[in-house]
Amino acid sequence: MTEQVNLQAYQSFVEEVTSPETNQLSEFSKRVDVLDETTEVNLPLILNSALGLSAEAGEFTEIVKKCVFQGKPLDADTIFHAKRELGDVIWYWMNACRSLNLDPNDVIAENVTKLKKRYPGGAFDVYQSENRKDNDI
């Protein structure tokens, strides 16, 4: 039998291992100020983009989950809904590129380069997928 965890003790542990920037608004504000002073990144835009990408990807995932596991029909209406959510994903993705001053074409080109190196034969390979070389992120 698995030992039961005291949730109050776990909550205290989680707080202790969470960064000050996460636990305290003043520390968060200081970190944002440092980043704002030391980088050309649009911080409000990247934060909004990161949160939006996660949310919209979750909405797309919810559609797929309901179709596969809950009997929702994968019909024209559902595909249209998925299309709209994917549009939202790309909107936030484009804002993420903007926030980092990245050319979206360069982002895609870098992805192609990465995948060509990972799969030198030009086709998916389970071994290559699971056993990546150094710096293959």
What pLDDT does 70 receive?
98
What lies within 8 Å, CB to CB, of 85 at 6+ separation is: 56, 59, 60, 63
Q: Is residue 25 part of a domain?
A: no
Q: Are residues 92 and 65 in the same domain?
A: yes
SS (H, E, C) the chain: CCCCCCHHHHHHHHHHCCCHHHHCHHHHHHHHHHHHHHCCCCHHHHHHHHHHHHHHHHHHHHHHHHHHHCCCCCCHHHHHHHHHHHHHHHHHHHHHHHHCCCCHHHHHHHHHHHHHHHCCCCCCCHHHHHCCCCCCC
Q: Are residues 64 and 89 in the same domain?
A: yes
Residue 116 domain boundaries: 104-137
What pLDDT does 132 receive?
86
Q: Are residues 40 and 98 in the same domain?
A: yes
Q: Are residues 110 and 92 in the same domain?
A: no
pTM for the whole structure: 0.86
- Residue 21's pLDDT band, with cuts at 50, 70 and 90, is very high
What's the rounded mean pLDDT across residues 100-119? 96
Q: Are residues 109 and 95 in the same domain?
A: no
Q: Are residues 96 and 49 in the same domain?
A: yes
Report CA-CA distances (Å) from 98 to 20, 28, 67, 105, 111. 28, 23, 34, 12, 17
Q: Is residue 114 part of a domain?
A: yes
Q: Are residues 109 and 98 in the same domain?
A: no
State which amino acid sits at residue 15: E
Q: What is the mean pLDDT of the chain?
A: 95
